Structure 1
Amino acid sequence: MRVQGYVIHTRPFQDNKVLLDVLTQEQGLIRAVWRRNTKEARVTPGSFLLHELELSGRGELKTARSVEPLESAASLQGNGLYSAFYLHELLERLVPTNLPVEPLFILYQWVIVNLRQGVPIAPLLRRFEVGLFDELGMGINLSCTARGEVLRSTQLYQFHGKFGLRPYLGDQPKVRPMIYLDGATAKGYTAGLWSNRSVLSMAKELHRAWLDAALGGRELKSRDLLPAAEFAGERLWQVPVFRFEESIK
């Protein structure tokens, strides 16, 4: 069986063998054992490159008979490299093996290409997170209230992981929400307005909380490599508040 994929993690195995975790277009995330020959004693398949793999085996752990790059090596550096590590850690932690996720494969490929070209990183990461959530059935719905009501742009809402959006009426909530945001910001998020500073800032805070819940409190090591800053904006009951601002051109 031949598949195309990106190697997202490697680790030593027995003798000259290496365990590969590969995001494939055909079968999603798969795990395979690859035996290096004597001349390749210290060689492992390059990250962020599309490979063609010849696989065998009926179980969950495949045997990689061959691993051949389909494109020339292209390096990532600095925050672009750390961002790619972050994508890999998300895939490793959250995506089940042998689950076809072709839209996520295509999205990953798109992000890697844009990271190589030096495109602003934050919008790429937020877009990837949205695609990951949707593909795993854990998407965030900011298109309407929990009761299905149309959002009003100037109304302030509270967002709860279990209950969705609820209008904020001025009282202290019994259950602390993840964030507060106005209807215009929620609409911008749903429309994918990643060029808007308010939408992008809100998405970063919300996705972080969403991921923390999905990971059950397990730390993402790659976060330590990326620039981090405490939210310094408006807060309500110690919870971040996001209000839509038109982007300055």
Structure 2
Amino acid sequence: MQPAYVLHRWPYQDSSLLVELFTLQHGRFRVIAKGAKRPKSRWRSILQPFTPLLVETRGKHELQTLVDAEASAPAFALQGVNLYSGFYLNELLQRLTSIYQPLDGVFDDYQQALQLLTQMAQIEPVLRRFEWQLLCHLGHGFDWFYDTQQQPVVANSHYLFVPEAGFSAVSATRHSYAGSDLLKLAAFELNDSRLLNVFKRLMREALAPYLGPAPLRSRELFIQLQVASSTANQPVVAPLSTETPKGYTS
């Protein structure tokens, strides 16, 4: 059996589930969990996002059959904004990794991010770090210290981000990045809210070529939640359940 997490699940036929797994040894793939919807199924309660699993699967094709599954530890208790952040991590893995693409370090980074989401009130540093780690694991990382002309990034200069290339020195514009900010981000100095916003904009630019034009459903759902909560003059609160939220159909 190998360590795994559920990224997403769908009803399948009358009593089964179609489950997308993210595994340590084989990356991401889908399985049929036969009978998992039945009330007495021992899989019913554990085949949920954010529950550490050990799984055994069988099959030679893209769609395998789940043979066995057990929880290896309690589920990560994500609530509110942190829960939707967890769904965002799942969607990044779905959108950016290929079927049966094991990547050294990604599984551990994902598990660490979930752990941090249960512990930290401030989620932005966790998300930005995972985005950067995933880009690097996929071979899309960039150099923080040298620009596209192989010149050192200088604190008092400005740069545009060129997707798949890196930073290009330019005159200061509203879209450019200060060299001083880039050098701080390279050291993951993320305690400043302004720097976190800079990092967020940069990661969106860096991820865009690989995510494609389709919007992220987890982001859309969170925005809808914020709007609804604002209208009701209530804080943003998500369900305690880790069931995939309605409307999330990646």
TM interval, shorter chain, is: 0.7 to 0.9
Query: Residue 176 of structure 2 corresponds to which residue in structure 1?
Result: 180
Q: Which has the higher contact order (CA 8 A, sep 6+)?
A: 2
| 1:108 matched residue in structure 2 | 110
1:136-195 C-alpha deviation (Å, 9 max, x unpaired): 12223332110111121111222222553222236x8xxxx9x41121111122222222
Q: Deviations over 1:198-239 (max 9, x none)?
A: 43221101112333332221100111244699xxxxxxxxxx
Where do 5+ consecutive residues of structure 2 fail to align? 227-250
1:1-249 alignment runs, 5 A limit: 2-36=1-35, 38=38, 39-40=40-41, 43=44, 45-161=47-163, 163-169=165-171, 179-226=175-222
Q: Name the Cα RMSD after superposition.
A: 2.4
TM-score (norm 2): 0.80
Classify 1:163/1:54 alpha carbon distance in 2 versus 1 (closer, same or farther; 3 Å): closer
Residue by residue over 1:90-135, the C-alpha shift from the partner in whole angstroms, topping out at 9 and shown as x without a partner, is 1111110111123111011001111112342000000010011111
CA contact (8 A) 1:185 1:198 kept: no
Does the CA-based 8 Å contact 1:24-1:105 persist in structure 2?
yes
Identity of aligned pairs, percent? 30
TM-score (norm 1): 0.81
What letter is aligned with 1:200?
L
Residue 233 of structure 2: aligned partner = none
Checking the alignment, whether the CA contact within 8 Å between 1:26 and 1:102 is kept in structure 2 is no
Q: Give how far 1:87 is off.
A: 0.7
Conservation of the 8 A alpha-carbon contact between 1:159 and 1:165: yes
Go from structure 1 to structure 2 and tell me whether the alpha carbon gap of 1:23 and 1:42 turns closer, same or farther (over 3 Å shift).
closer
2:102 partner letter = P
Deviates more, 1:85-94 or 1:161-170: 161-170
Number of equivalences: 222
Q: C-alpha separation between the residues in 1 aligned to 2:135 and 2:97?
A: 10
- What SS class does the counterpart of residue 176 from structure 2 fall into? strand
Aligned residue for 2:232? none
- 195-204 or 74-83: which moved more? 195-204
Instruction: Please give the alpha-carbon distance, in whole angstroms, between the structure 1 residues aligned to 2:164 and 2:119.
Output: 38
Deviation, 1:76, is: 1.4
Secondary structure of the structure 1 residue equivalent to 2:33: strand
Q: How far has the Cα of 1:14 moved from its partner?
A: 2.5
Contact 2:52 2:74 in 1 (8 A): no
- Counterpart contact for 2:185–2:199, Cα < 8 Å: yes
Structure 1 residues 163 and 71 mapped into 2: Cα distance closer, same or farther (>3 Å)? closer
Q: Distance in 2 between matches of 1:72 and 1:167?
A: 49
Q: The residue matched to 1:186 in structure 2 has which SS?
A: helix
Cα separation, 1, equivalents of 2:223 and 2:183: 27
Distance in 2 separating the partners of 1:147 and 1:221 = 37
Q: Which amino acid aligns with 1:120?
A: Q
Which secondary structure state, in structure 1, belongs to the residue aligned with residue 3 of structure 2?
strand
For the 8 Å contact 1:13–1:19, the answer to whether it is kept is yes
Secondary structure class of the residue paired with 1:40: coil
